[in-house]
Amino acid sequence: MIKNVTVVGAGTMGNGIAHVFAMNGFQVNLVDISQPALDKAIKTITKNLDRMVKKERITSDEKNNTLANLTTYTSSAEAVKDADLVVEAATENIDLKLKIFKQLDELSPAKAILASNTSSISITKIASVTQRPEKVIGMHFMNPVPVMKLVEIIRGYSTTDEVTNIIMDLSRTLKKVPVEVNDYPGFVANRILLPMINEAISALFEGVAGVEEIDTVMKLGMAHPMGPLRLADFIGLDVCLAILNVLHQGFGNPKYAPCPLLVNMVTAGKLGQKSGEGFYRYIPGTRDFEVSDVFKK
């Protein structure tokens, strides 16, 4: 039975994952090497819970219970010592993830399941640095985690049926819809999403249409909540590039080669919403944005 959950990484995904587990009655230890990142995560979770109270989705008692279920740590050793499940949501960098999993394997109880929220790094590869590859699995939440229903559950080469079933059931307890997939580059979500985003960037690069035109076509024509360029900014252009590189290298197929415009934007530090500018420019302190100057006609 899973009761104690440790979430590693207090960024956008980590705080959303911690929020959802804590709101569903789990004891959550949230760990990050940066105390300011932890403080920011608790502030974000509190703000999102306040919004839910205001909309009468939860009561203020439920908000308080959720916050009471959360404890923050700056050291993994203390945070994982009683964990039944560890969910890693650190930066999408393979060397970092391998280092974290090696350490988590040494520090966590032998019974603990080790999950990664990776968006594209091989679960089999991550599992290979642990002594428990059968208990390593992908739990890929979507951003914003409290809102999005899907959890993509990725079975590594050695992940057992038992562990997969525990994590599928657990996801349902979180009121999410789990979908089981196998461990191949990009899994399913990003194997399909990122080529679409890359194609939208190529259409912009080739001058087929402007930023707003491309996004409007996909929003109003395909009923997507955000156009692909706005979504790329929301995901982070560095994350989009990293996923495309995994697809390109993993399949060796040129159809996945990242558009040179995406590469240039990441090199220039234009990473999308988090850096204040990508295809759009985000007005600080507001929810407003407009097409970046470079893409204005």
Interface contacts to ligand CAA, rule CB under 6 A: 48, 51, 55, 119, 142-144, 146-148, 189-190, 225-226, 231, 235, 239
Active site residue 248: no
> Catalytic: which of 152, 171, 212, 292?
152
- Locus of tokens 């205001």: 54
* Closest residue by beta carbon to ligand CAA: 119
Tell me the C-alpha distance between 58 and 45, whole Å: 14
Structure tokens at 257: 């080669």
Q: Closer CB to ligand CAA, residue 133 or residue 138?
A: 138
User: Phi and psi of 30, rounded to 5°?
Assistant: -105, 120
- Shortest distance, position 239 Cβ to ligand CAA, whole Å: 6
Catalytic residue, chosen from 69, 108, 122, 140, is 140
CB closer to ligand CAA, 225 vs 254: 225
Residue 282 φ then ψ, to 5°: -100, 125
- Residue (63 or 132) nearer to ligand CAA, CB: 63
Cβ proximity to ligand CAA, 4 vs 48, nearer residue: 48
What are the helix (H) ranges across the chain?
A: 12-23, 35-54, 60-68, 76-80, 94-107, 123-127, 161-173, 189-205, 211-222, 228-235, 237-251, 260-267
**Amino acid at the residue 207:** G
Name residue 289's beta-bridge partners: 282
Q: Pick from 52, 34, 36, 37: which is nearest to 22 by CA?
A: 52
Single out the catalytic residue among 4, 119, 171, 292: 119
Residue closer to ligand CAA, measured from CB, 225 or 252: 225
Nearer to ligand CAA, 189 or 200 (CB): 189
Answer yes or no: are the C-beta atoms of 258 and 272 closer than 8 Å: no
DSSP state of 183: -
Nearest approach, Cβ of 55 to ligand CAA (angstroms)?
5
Q: Compute the least distance from the CB of residue 60 to ligand CAA, in Å.
A: 16
| Residue 37 exposed, middle or buried by CB count within 10 Å (0-12, 13-18, 19+) | middle
Shortest distance, CB of residue 48 to ligand CAA, whole angstroms? 4
Query: CA 202 to CA 189: how far, in whole Å?
Result: 20
Label residue 272 left, alpha or beta by phi (over 0 means left) and psi (-120 to 50 means alpha).
left
Q: Which of 4, 69, 120, 190 is catalytic?
A: 190
224 catalytic per annotation? no
Amino acid at 96: L
* Catalytically active residues, by annotation: 119, 140, 152, 190
